[in-house]
Amino acid sequence: MTSEAVSVPVSVPTNRKKLFIRTWGCQMNVYDSNRMADVLAPLGYGPAATPEEADMVILNTCHIREKASEKVFSDLGRLRLLKNEKAAAGQKMVLAVAGCVAQAEGAEITARAPWVDIVLGPQTYHRLPEMVARASRAAGAQIDTDFPAEQKFDLLPQVSTDGGPIAFLTIQEGCDKFCSFCVVPYTRGAEFSRPVAAILAEAKRLVSGGAREIALLGQNVNAWHGEAPDGSAWTLSRLLYELAEIDGLARIRYTTSHPRDMDDALIGAHGRIPQLMPFLHLPVQSGSDKMLSAMNRQHKADLFFRIADRLREVRPDMALSSDFIVGHPGEKDEDHAATMALVGRVGFALAYSFKYSQRPGTPAAGQPFQVPEDVKDARLQELQAVLRRQQDDFNRACVGRECDILWTGPGRHPGQVAGRTPWLQPVHAMGPASLAGSLARVRIDAAHPNSLSATLLDEKELACA
């Protein structure tokens, strides 16, 4: 996962008003941005390509990465100028801040940026139309960062079904793990699992709308335990088997998982469900048992080793991705060495690594033995060099391999089509744009820094090209 800002295309009809959403963070935030667009569509809001042409701008924020809130305030400063320009021209622009920064720092936002009209947390998106109406009638910011008793999913409209061949479906929100470095339990609330019927209905709508791959989302997605129509509780493995029965659904993924919730049934599903892709993001954060304890991860490195070995036993082509934090308070050279040893022992196709940064209100923020910045920098550079080498090695090992690609759209160059391998790597080949939304077999020809190039093997597709 990354925390870079992306502009999320909002799939709603063109209407009288224009909506621009800027999203930071994980795919759950991307999902939430699209749901906010769905909620606002009945009010007449259609997509805007830029803030300049928008009647409403939403910043959907992430609190995970370093200096996240400062990036938001920097954006708000630029938007203040734009809002003033529109006001001088007799136009009104509604400005909203949503997501985890809004949840954690709502009062700070209204104090530092009083030109913001709406501040709302992740659990209150279904109330957005009401807040827009109030903001248009009254002066002063509308703030809603409660954790309401009603479930927002019950009150949101049906998800849009024209988002392309890859769709995201949130099945679980919140976190009960309380890792020492993390704000998610405080910004997303307690773990909540959506019921089976709602998930299956949404998945079928997505497939009927053209989705060939669905990625299930959750802060702790493998902790999902949804209520079935008969009143029983399903685990994620049971849900995966049911989703695999949906006609037209070719690929299934899920993210993000916690090692503590990788049970035998879920691991076994990777060997039995062809639609379940051989790529799993499983954050470990550290290879040191001492640091895992300090982080309140409640597992040891040996558990991660056993999970990785078992996954590769049931699915030999399984590729793993992970998250790492260096420089957590109290981390010593031997702890960093244990992380490096874990990376060498497991091997990762992809990984995200970050320096520890203090998050107000989290247990680690006030701990002694904070690691100096220069030490964190050196450790991160050493770790990232090895992780990058492993990623390059994995990509190069794919050269010469034949596999099916899910094509998502045109490539960067004329005559190219782009897609994703089963291991989530970007790939491009010469082929017709009509391939988008379909699966076609290729031979991987070359590995590049951030993608693979391939040749189509299907004679009919080659003839179309």
Q: What is the pLDDT of residues 394-413, one digit of tens each?
A: 999 999 999 999 999 999 99
Q: What mean pLDDT do residues 54-78 have?
A: 85
Q: Tell me whether residue 175 is annotated as binding.
A: yes
Of these ranges, 12-21, 63-72, 316-325, the one predicted with the greatest mean pLDDT is 316-325
> Of the given ranges (60-74, 215-229, 284-298, 390-404), which has the lowest mean pLDDT?
60-74
> Of the given ranges (131-140, 177-186, 455-464), which has the lowest mean pLDDT?
455-464
> Of the given ranges (9-18, 109-118, 299-308, 371-380), which has the lowest mean pLDDT?
9-18
What is the separation, in whole angstroms, between the first and last Cα of the chain? Answer: 34
Q: What mean pLDDT do residues 249-274 have?
A: 97
The arrangement of strands across the sheet holding 213-217 comes to 166-170, 213-217, 251-255
Is the separation of the CB atoms in 143 and 209 below 8 Å? no
Q: Tell me whether residue 403 is annotated as binding.
A: no
Q: Where are the alpha helices (DSSP H) in 190-288?
A: 196-208, 236-243, 264-272
Tens digit of each residue's pLDDT (9 = 90 or more) over 197-208? 999 999 999 999
Of 453, 415, 451, nearest to 434 by C-alpha is: 415
Percent of the chain clearing pLDDT 90 (strictly above): 68
Tens digit of each residue's pLDDT (9 = 90 or more) over 121-172? 887 888 888 888 888 776 567 776 665 544 655 655 555 556 689 999 999 9
Q: Tell me whether residue 398 is annotated as binding.
A: no
Q: Tell me whether residue 464 is annotated as binding.
A: no
Following DSSP, what letter does each residue of 407-435 receive, concatenated?
A: EEEE-SSTTEEEEE-TT--EEEEE--GGG
Query: Domains of the chain (ranges plus CATH)?
Result: 6-144 (3.40.50.12160), 161-277 (3.30.750.210), 280-390 (3.30.750.200), 402-464 (2.40.50.140)
Tens digit of each residue's pLDDT (9 = 90 or more) over 76-105? 999 999 999 999 999 999 999 998 888 888
In the structure, what pLDDT confidence band is assigned to residue 463 with cuts at 50, 70 and 90? very low
E strand or H helix that includes residue 385: helix 373-397
